[in-house]
Structure formats: structure tokens, C-alpha cells
Structure 1
Amino acid sequence: MKIRNFLVSLPLVFISTGCSTINYTEPKTGDLSRVRFATNETAVIVIRAYETTECTSETEWMRLRNGMLINSSPKSLGIPLQNYNRNAFKEFYISSNTEKVVMFVGTSSTGNKLFSCGVPLNLKFLEKNKDYELFYQLDVNSCSVTASEIQKSPSGEIIKKKLKDYSNSQEGFGEACVALFKKQRLY
């Protein structure tokens, strides 16, 4: 968790964090999984992706927010158990046969302090033809992403099976990734 001191100007924060565009191009062929990126946070959550596990070619994939976003681009594939605000989730096809690093970053402010917390994770757990959800939440001193598989139970009911909780720990990532994860940005 990083804490930055500065005066927050409401118009600047609104302009810099309120836009939502999708910068991810879905694969059309190969081994694919359907993945929902979601949050219930009222602050804007930015999701960045890196081409390799060495974190080369950083791109901003999307922004999520449980509330209004300027230039919102809702995206749904019809994955079951979706109960989020239309700006708080996006669903995509993701290649399940390649490793890809993504990082969820959320910020909140209290007074003149801005709290920023990012959760990096590697999507190597994805299996083809399955549905997943990656859910980001920001707490007082930490943040996390819960990875769940959306599947049918033995009784035929659709459920979210929790696979793993990811924290804001950068353990297991190389120096190049850690440098990008720690890079200060004005969202």
C-alpha cells in the first residue's frame, strides 16, 4: 500500500480517472477461457496487462467502477452469476495457453492523502472452455483479487468456486515487473 500526500483537486481526479475505454483485443481462435473482471469499489480500478512474465509492453486494458464512468464501454459475454453495475465489470475471451501478467490498481483518498494499492497476478491458471471471475477489493491497509471458477455444482446449480486470493504482495515477480508495479502514476 502506498500513501501519497498532495492536495486533491476534484475536477482533476474526475477527469483523470473517469474515462473508461477498452484497450484489449480478444483472441478469436485457440484455447480460450471467458474471464470476468469485476469490482464493487466506487473508486476507479485500472487494469494493466503485460505481454510477458517479465512485464514487457505494458498496456491499460480497462477501467472499472461501481458507478458512473465517462465514455463507458460495457462488455458482457453472458457469464453466469453477474450481479454488478454495468461499469463495474467487463467480460473477455482470454487465451488459456499463454502466461499473461495483469495488475489491478485501485485508489482512494482521505483528506489530502491518496491511497493506492495494486494486485499483480499471473493468469497461467486459466483452463480452456471454462468461466472465471477476478474480483478486486480495496480495504483500509490492503487490497486483494479473488479468483473464482464459475461452474456447475454436482446438483446442477451454477456456483462460484474460489480458487485463490491474491494480495498486493509482489513476491514471485522479477525486478522488471516490480519496478513497473511500483511506478508512481497519476491515474
Structure 2
Amino acid sequence: MADVIPIVRTKTVSIGDGNVTLGVVRREATATGALRWKKDGILMENWNNKAVILFENISSDDDGIYECYKQNQQNERIKHAFMQLIVRECPHNKWSPTDCTKDCEVCYNGGVCDTYIGTCICPSGFYGKRCVKSAGDNRFGRDGQIPCKSNNGGSCIGNLFCPPLPQGCACHAGWKGLDCRT
């Protein structure tokens, strides 16, 4: 079981966003031991001992996979927290690189504007032009009509969904936790 747990699995931000954080919580409130961070497999010593790292001004260089673990546990991968930071190529609410002059649709319920075509990419459980339509408890997909099929009796509980970028992976609407069962 992981000793450190990511606050979020995936976070999507836009170039120029400020005060963006990635963080972890320790499994046990009394747990001690220095924390170490890596970005794309490279040790980031300036973040040592921090449970939360701060990005004051997001750039494309910040895009990547972040890993946090307790010191001396670097070889125990199952005890690490992994997070993905997705950086959209355009500023918030804009699309069409390289000039990024077109306005995005307003996306609801956690939907994210696609940087290249300007439409909303909806999270699992929502669909429609602006992600305002509910797919229901056990459905997902672009039109909200795909039923969950699993060992959970057709329920979306316990399933991690990964829509196209820039959305990133998350539990189905209404579920959270590392195993999507809370």
C-alpha cells in the first residue's frame, strides 16, 4: 500500500496559469520521513521534504509525470504517489496554437477545452457540447451511451477512466480515491 497518496491523479492547467499545486498526503497522519520528488524520472532536490509543490507560472516545461515517495523507498514503486500534470499549449479559455486567439466553449462539470479543436472534452459521466448532460450512474463516452462493464455488476465503481488529453484520468463522476471506490 502506498505510503504517500496523491491529492489528484491528473491536473490539467494552461500555459501562464499561476499558483498551481501538486501534493500528497501521508497514509498515516503520524508518518515521518523525508519526502523526495521526481519529474519524468529525474530527482528534483529543490522539492525535498515538501508535501505540496508550487508552480508560480506554468510553462510547457512543467508538463509531465511527477512522483513522490519517502526517502530510502525509491525502489519500492508500490509505495509511491504518481501524478500527471497536463499543460495546455494555450492560455486559459483559448485554443488554436500557435497564436491561441480563439475562445473556448465554456466547459462544465470538469470538462476541459481541447487546445486544437476548441471543443469540450468531458469527464466520465458527462457528455454534450459543454459537458452539461449527465450520462447517468453507469454510463460514459462521447454520447453518454456506453455502459460500464466490469466485475462490479455493470457499475462504474472501481474503474479509472482516461478520456483524451487534455482531460486526463479520473474516477467516474461520483467516485474518488486511488481505487475509485469512495
The two structures have a TM-score, normalised by structure 1, of 0.27
Higher normalized helix content (fraction of residues): 1
The two structures have a TM-score, normalised by structure 2, of 0.28
Higher normalized strand content (fraction of residues): 1
The structure that has the greater radius of gyration is 2
Could you say which structure has the greater relative contact order, defined with CA pairs below 8 angstroms and 6 or more residues apart?
A: 1
